[in-house]
Amino acid sequence: MSKKWVFRTPGIPDDFFIRGSVPMTKEEIRVITLAKARLAPGQVVWDVGAGTGSLSVEAALQAKGGVVYAIERDSHGVSLIETNSRAFGVENLRILEGDAPGVLRELPDPDRVMIGGSGGKLREIVAESCSRLKPGGRIVINAVTLENAALSVKLLDELLGGSEAVQICVARAVRAGNGRIMRGANPVTVISAEKGESNVAG
């Protein structure tokens, strides 16, 4: 079934996507991640650890005329990305099955990098991404664990000379008896940085 997102703003509802058992970047986290990435038409975007492809699909809609590369090592995740990509009719989304950072070496240099899952190779993925990122490019990392958040800040400070971080705590209303209560989701730390002309990591 084809789905359309006709709005200029991001934030496609979660239930628009096929999820399965693969982790998915939730709607509110996607909105802030995309805002921090500052996407524009014509950009080359890497989405590393793409999961179900919800973020990749939204990025592809924002970066028309460019290319979004969704990198996912789980074959079930790859299948879900393909399904979600077809459902929204995005034609500028390319899907690569494989482990980062190795598979990244096949791709053109990015204007933007978004990192979700890292498979325990966050340090290597960030190093490769910062090295390949074009001057003026941006990198955004979504960290669920405290350890990955701290490591992300440390790496971006070292490789790009600085970073910013925001922790997002989202609660949604759910039915409870005759009323509703707010049920909180796990907080996510979004760490971002920009590569200046002098920040040549390598």
pLDDT in tens, the chain (202 residues): 457 788 989 999 999 999 888 889 999 999 999 999 999 999 999 999 999 999 999 999 999 999 999 999 999 999 999 999 999 999 999 999 999 999 999 999 999 999 998 889 999 999 999 999 999 999 999 999 999 999 999 999 999 999 999 999 999 999 999 999 999 999 999 999 999 865 544 4
| Cα separation, 108 vs 97, whole angstroms | 16
Its pTM stands at 0.93
Class of domain 14-194: alpha beta
59 burial class (0-12, 13-18, 19+ CB within 10 angstroms)? buried
Name the token pair of 88.
Answer: 């929204």
Alpha-carbon 114 to chain mean position: 4
Backbone angles phi, psi at 163, to 5 degrees: -160, 165
pLDDT tens, position by position, 72-112: 999 999 999 999 999 999 999 999 999 999 999 999 999 99
The count of other CB atoms within 10 Å of the CB of residue 131 is 15
Name the amino acid, one letter, at 114. M
Q: Domain map of the chain by residue range?
A: 14-194
SS (H, E, C) the chain: CCCCCCCCCCCCCHHHCCCCCCCCCCHHHHHHHHHHHCCCCCCEEEEECCCCCHHHHHHHHHCCCCEEEEEECCHHHHHHHHHHHHHHCCCCEEEEECCCCHHHHHCCCCCEEEECCCCCCHHHHHHHHHHHCCCCCEEEEEECCHHHHHHHHHHHHHHHCCCEEEEECCEEEEEECCEEEEEECCCEEEEEEECCCCCCCC
